[in-house]
Amino acid sequence: MPKQTFFNLAAEKRTRILDAAIAELGSKPFDKVNIADIIEKAGIPRGSFYQYFVDLKDLYRYIFKLIAEKKLVYLRQVIAGREDLDFFQTIRELYAAGLRFAAENPRLAAVGNYYYREDRSFKQEMFPDMEEQGRKFFAMLLARGQARGEVDPKIDLKLASALLYYLTNDITGYYLEEAQEMTELLSGKGDNYLELVD
């Protein structure tokens, strides 16, 4: 997480730094991102960067946290107050909400696009709890589906939630690889993506 000195900055300067970092992180794989490019775009001295962040990974984690918080707003709209949706409709609507988020936040989605293309060891290093949280989320949806008679009560929740988590990530990764650019995914392949969920 950023150091307190970052939060002490004027809002305009914080935004400028984050915008520069998002532009870089959304344009190339993490190992190709250069702090020099970020500070040049942000118009800050190199020494200042290290007053605000421990290193590039620290900045990346913070930006990803901000992106996740924003995306959760979209996903919560599907879960909250939508008791009318069955398990399978909920899964489809979550995928659709993810696509809406990407369409309305293309710069943030581009960061996620490159993240999904990273190898698993990098993801584990950066966000060691993300996988477990994702699996717990699917387990919660499956348990709700079982309670409502929509999901077979005999299935192993732990196994099924892991399968859904990995399947979701792999399908997303596949479509991102095939689309190459987020705009391609949103302009047509997104329909195929949702049809696959159906």
39 or 130, higher pLDDT: 39
Q: Please report which helix (H) or strand (E) contains residue 129, including its range.
A: none
Percentage with pLDDT > 70 across the chain: 85
Q: Which two tokens stand for residue 137?
A: 């989320």
Q: What is the pTM of this model?
A: 0.80
The token pair at 114 is 């490159």
Q: Is 119 helix (H, G, I), strand (E, B) or coil?
A: coil
Most confident region among 51-55, 85-89, 125-129 by mean pLDDT: 51-55
C-alpha angle 153-154-155 in degrees, rounded to nearest 5 = 95
Residue 114 clears pLDDT 70, i.e. is over it: yes
Report the Cα–Cα distance between both ends of the chain, in Å, rounded.
Answer: 39
Q: What is the mean pLDDT of residues 27-51?
A: 95
Dihedral sign from CA coordinates of 31, 34, 37, 42: positive
* 198: Cβ contacts below 8 Å, ≥ 6 apart: 92
Q: According to the model, what pLDDT value does residue 39 have?
A: 96
Q: Which residues contact 66 (CB under 8 A, 6 or more apart)?
A: 18
User: So what's the pLDDT on residue 85?
Assistant: 87
* d(C-alpha 54, C-alpha 27), whole Å: 22
**Domains of the chain: total:** 1
Domain CATH number, residue 42: 1.10.357.10
Q: What angle do CA 78, 89, 186 make, to 5 degrees?
A: 70
For residue 95, what pLDDT is reported?
82
Domain coverage including residue 16:
4-197
**Token pair in block for residue 38:** 């970020």
